[in-house]
Amino acid sequence: MNGAEFLRAAKELADLRGITLDEIFTDIETGLNAAYKRNYGGTNSKVILNKDTGEVKVVSYKVVVDEINMEEDEDAQILLEELDNPSDYKVGDVIEKEVTPKDFGRVAASTCKQVFTQKIREAERESIMNEFEGKEGELLIGTLSREDKQNYYVDLGRAHGILPKSEIIPGEELKMGSQIKVYVVKIELGQKGGPVILLSRSHYGFVKRLLELEIPELNEGIVMLYSVARDAGSRSKIAVYSENERVDAVGACIGEKGIRINNISKELNGEKIDVVQYDKDLVTFIKNALSPAKEVEVYILDPKENKVLAVADGDNLSLAIGKKGQNVKLAARLTKCKIDVKTSSQVQEEGINIYKYYEA
């Protein structure tokens, strides 16, 4: 690499990275000095890069002193009295002499290429980080490229995301080379400077983004998504509403003949999705959240702690609780309340005065 080629490459790199040529030259000189000392030794030498021509030379230097300082580099000092013409110098002057090795051009070229390569890689990593840093909480589509014992790796174009096997939907089978929708849980800077993109398909946010993808009214603001509760691979509950009284928010999400919600369920490996109506009245909202149970009485026991008593009998009791308590757990997450389900007889046996809290 001659001087002209070096300057042209340095300018291209500066334009690519959006930095000044001086920053490039500083990094190159640092690299060249390290390379010279590594290959040729010598502590009292430095590499000088001509910023106008791109030419490189090595000079040794000595500082003129009146007394050698043993705590500093002795090779870099020379006594004034030892000079051939001491009258031409004074203490503090620096005497330089070019000592460029004959084959230093090869070392310099190699060093420049290494620095350029490193800078280009840094620029690429920075560019990728900038591209993905705003994607946290978003839905991306990638290709399954490989896997190991703990993770799948998803090709997202300029970067790969990590999909832990603990974050896939229980029971689903993923095939290498297939396209896959993923939710970006977190993006952080890796040890090598590039982004580490953590992905999930079991996160409740995955359901939110799928809903937005499938239901135009959500993106248009006609229908609002209040909350999502999910038991990945089994069941999700979503609460929706609209500020327009003429809009059926639940119906918009379900779609004609259930086509919209079925499309989402298919992406979730058959996971069932309950769509319920959000209501500003907490009692009404909790009743909706406990569906498919009907005829449930709800009492707010402690508004500050959001403690709630739901009273149901017969088949509605088992529906309100759900298999292994799933329905009431999801309803509790959806409404952000602590819901305790009891029968009328249990309320009487425990002496709970429900009339004190009569449906709050």
Q: In whole angstroms, what is the distance from residue 352 CA to residue 346 CA?
A: 9
CATH number of 194's domain? 2.40.50.140
- Both 244 and 299 in one domain: the answer is yes
- Both 260 and 177 in one domain: the answer is no
Give strand ranges (E) for 201-305.
224-231, 235-241, 272-277, 297-302
Percent of the chain whose pLDDT exceeds 90: 51
The CA-based dihedral angle spanning residues 25, 31, 32, 34, taken in that order and rounded to the nearest 10 degrees: 150
Last residue of a domain, one of 75, 96, 130: 130
What size, in residues, is the chain?
A: 360
* Burial (Cβ within 10 Å: 0-12, 13-18, ≥19) of residue 130: exposed
CATH number of 98's domain? 3.30.1480.10
Phi-psi region of 54 (alpha: psi -120 to 50; beta: other; left: phi over 0): left
Cis peptide before 86 (omega within 30 of 0): no
pTM above 0.85? no
For residue 18, pLDDT beyond 80: no
Q: In whole angstroms, what is the distance from residue 285 CA to residue 295 CA?
A: 14
- Both 70 and 167 in one domain: the answer is no
* pLDDT tens track for 128-149: 777 787 888 999 999 999 999 9
Q: In whole angstroms, what is the distance from residue 341 CA to residue 319 CA?
A: 11
- Both 163 and 79 in one domain: the answer is no
* 200-to-69, 173, 232, 257 alpha-carbon distances in Å: 64, 14, 11, 29
Buried (b) or exposed (e) across 81-112, using 16+ Cβ within 10 A? eeeeeeeeeeeeeeeeeebbeeebeebbeebb
The H-or-E segment that residue 359 falls in is none
The whole-number pLDDT of residue 59 equals 83
CATH number of 285's domain? 3.30.300.20
- Both 305 and 266 in one domain: the answer is yes
Q: In whole angstroms, what is the distance from residue 276 CA to residue 334 CA?
A: 10
- DSSP letters, 284-323, are HHHHHHTTT--S-EEEEEETTTTEEEEE--THHHHHHH-G
- Both 231 and 303 in one domain: the answer is yes
Name the token pair of 211.
């809903």
**Most distant pair of Cα atoms in the chain: their distance:** 114
- Both 196 and 117 in one domain: the answer is no
* pLDDT tens track for 169-207: 999 999 999 999 999 999 887 776 678 899 999 999 999
- Both 287 and 299 in one domain: the answer is yes
The whole-number pLDDT of residue 113 equals 78
Q: What is the mean pLDDT of residues 32-53?
A: 80
> Which residues constitute the domain of residue 233?
204-357
Name the β-bridge partners of 240.
225, 277
- Both 291 and 339 in one domain: the answer is yes
